[in-house]
Amino acid sequence: MSKKKIILTGDRPTGPLHIGHYVGSLRRRVELQNSGEFDKIFIMIADAQALTDNYDNPDKVRENIIEVALDYLACGLDPKKTTIFIQSQIAELCELSFYYMNLVTVSRLQRNPTVKTEIQMRNFETSIPVGFFTYPISQAADITAFKATVVPVGEDQKPMLEQTNEIVRRFNGIYGETLVEPQILLPDNAACLRLPGTDGKAKMSKSLGNCIYLSDSAEDVQKKVMSMFTDPDHLRVQDPGKIEGNTVFTYLDAFSKPEHFEKYLPEYPNLDELKAHYQRGGLGDVKVKRFLNSVMQETLEPIRQRRAELEKDIPAIYKMLKEGSDVARAAANETLEEVKAAMKINYFEDEELIKRQSEKFAK
């Protein structure tokens, strides 16, 4: 089996990408890409997965492919180093999912914590589309099709990776060593594991409308920051404030760097001092929010500028996606051939089989 270092990860085209994606996965992907340590990097726009809970809104998925692709390139993903492709264009992934379905029980899927939360979030109750219910299996197909060894994602994807590794072990146990077990790569900063929404809800998520998008204008970012959830009991400036669950401080944990203090808030040497003052009392929300706004603008401005350039040539982006999809298809096809051989459904390539049966019937 190959010992190559391969990355696969991706995003659902259910909206433009937000700063949760940036700290949870995107920023890391660009670093890994530029480290030169990986033999191959595949980044997938998961349109087929997005359709599992947006099947009645194909236009939403269709319109957001380009948004996600623009965000990728604006953040520094480089098609010369990274294969960017569209999931639905790789039919091999469906075929793999179909075979993996035999290796997973209904009750195992029902226990998947991410699927559970997402079912609640989408108010499916008992009318869960089978496609949505089984998306962890299709995700296992995506990861294994490219023989990914490393999957950089946010914390919500942990149960998906566990499920994938179970499928790999079961497949290899029954059919012989074929698939590669991937490792999850989580952000090393706790605030980035699952960035909360601007409303203070547990996760910033396109589907919850509590996002700061990478493509938001400077004015929108400022508006969103200034109306963000903080400590609801911190009513007067002199009151002591809470840091835990205070979204403004969580975002500062995720985004602020020492040089931001020097530049925008020199009276504090670092974030710890700012937090301590807030906890003691005497520091108002507005001042902290203004600082966060400066940090966010500095982080997002270069991305915004690159995006504006890229938006001038949309056909070039589609061309890049098509080329990426062709490369991805070839890679997935190789794995599918190995899977079919292992599962003994490669009849026409198996000369031994035909010879043996010829002899059997000749008797």
Instruction: Summarize as ranges the residues that interact with ligand ATP (CB under 6 A).
Output: 11-12, 14, 20-21, 24-25, 153-154, 156-157, 194-195, 203-207
C-beta closer to ligand ATP: residue 206 or 307: 206
Minimum separation from the CB atom of position 16 to ligand ATP (A): 10
C-beta closer to ligand ATP: residue 13 or 324: 13
What's the longest Cα–Cα distance across the chain? 97
Strands 183-185, 150-152: pairing is parallel
Minimum separation from the CB atom of position 236 to ligand ATP (A): 31
Q: What distance in Å separates the CA atoms of residue 285 and residue 141, rounded to the nearest whole number?
A: 46
CB-based burial label for 124 (10 Å; 0-12, 13-18, 19+)? middle
SS3 content of the chain, % helix, strand, coil (to 5): 60, 5, 35
C-beta closer to ligand ATP: residue 51 or 339: 51
Amino acid at 5: K
Q: What distance in Å separates the CA atoms of residue 336 and residue 354, rounded to the nearest whole number?
A: 22
Minimum separation from the CB atom of position 346 to ligand ATP (A): 34
C-beta closer to ligand ATP: residue 198 or 230: 198
C-beta closer to ligand ATP: residue 64 or 325: 64
C-beta closer to ligand ATP: residue 151 or 283: 151
Minimum separation from the CB atom of position 217 to ligand ATP (A): 20
Q: Phi first, then psi: what are they for 151, rounded to 5°?
A: -125, 100
Separation in Å, CA 74 to CA 84, 95, 164, 217, 317? 13, 33, 30, 14, 12
Minimum separation from the CB atom of position 26 to ligand ATP (A): 8
Q: What distance in Å separates the CA atoms of residue 241 and residue 264, rounded to the nearest whole number?
A: 22
C-beta closer to ligand ATP: residue 172 or 207: 207
Minimum separation from the CB atom of position 161 to ligand ATP (A): 10
Question: In sequence order, which residues have a C-beta less than 8 Å from that of residue 180 and are 6 or more positions away?
Answer: 1, 2, 144, 147, 148, 149, 168
Minimum separation from the CB atom of position 24 to ligand ATP (A): 2
